[in-house]
Structure 1
Amino acid sequence: MADLDPVIHAQARLRITAALATLDQDQSIAFPRLQELLDMTPGNLSTHLKKLEDADYIVQTKEFLGRKPVTYLRLSTRGRRAYEDYREQLRALLDREP
């Protein structure tokens, strides 16, 4: 059995990828909304997003609404596949006979 993906396996990053996986492939969510959903501080969320971005698991898009910058987030194709693989591996691990 393959090892669980250490990038996703950290609790905060698992919560982030699980939340982003609920969106359609072409949808994104604003940083403040994701922060609110996950009840994370901006610094903590940013730290974990950086690790996901370094692994090419998320895509960040920065736009302006009027003069205010807004960051939008979504899973990349690679990130979505990694999350799906993680779920399959976890299920296999949990279903394994002792």
Structure 2
Amino acid sequence: MTAPIEGNHPRHGLDEVIHAPVRFSIVATLAAADKAEFAFVRDTVEVSDSVLSRQVATLEKAGYVAVTKGYVGKRPRTWLALTAGGRAAFADHCRALRAIAGETT
């Protein structure tokens, strides 16, 4: 059995954590803002609370998303935000996708 060949193909720049479609959608949504309410992200990405919670937990474990809980009045709220590492990983992932698609910008 031969070892996989690691080369210069841009696919090596893809981030396996971000690449999953729902996680990619979450990160893309968060990249457009400093932070967003859980419900806004859920509705934007069109997933259930449980799906969003699981995917955010994966992103949080990777250090890509920070979760903050608090209150607006008496109502509990959860805010999601990309960390600096998450923003960098998303930028690198998008750069790899553009390179695979043949774009140079």
For 2:40 and 2:20, the matched residues in 1 are separated by 21
Indicate which of 29, 40, 48 corresponds to 1:19: 29
Aligned residues: 93
Q: Which runs of 5+ in 1 are unaligned?
A: none
Residue 69 of structure 1 pairs with residue 76 of structure 2: yes
TM-score, structure 2 normalization: 0.83
CA RMSD of aligned residues (A): 1.3
Q: Which runs of 5+ in 2 are unaligned?
A: 1-8
For 1:8 and 1:76, the matched residues in 2 are separated by 13
After the TM superposition, which parts of structure 1 deviate over 4 Å for at least 4 consecutive aligned residues?
A: none
For 1:29 and 1:95, the matched residues in 2 are separated by 32
Matches within 5 A, 1:50-65: 50-65=57-72
Matches within 5 A, 1:34-49: 34-49=41-56
Greater Rg over alpha carbons, structure: 2
TM-score, structure 1 normalization: 0.89
Q: Quote the offset at 1:64 in angstroms.
A: 1.3
> Match of 1:83, as an amino acid?
F
Identity of aligned residues (%): 34
Structure 1 partner of 2:14: 4
The secondary structure found in structure 2 opposite 1:95 is coil
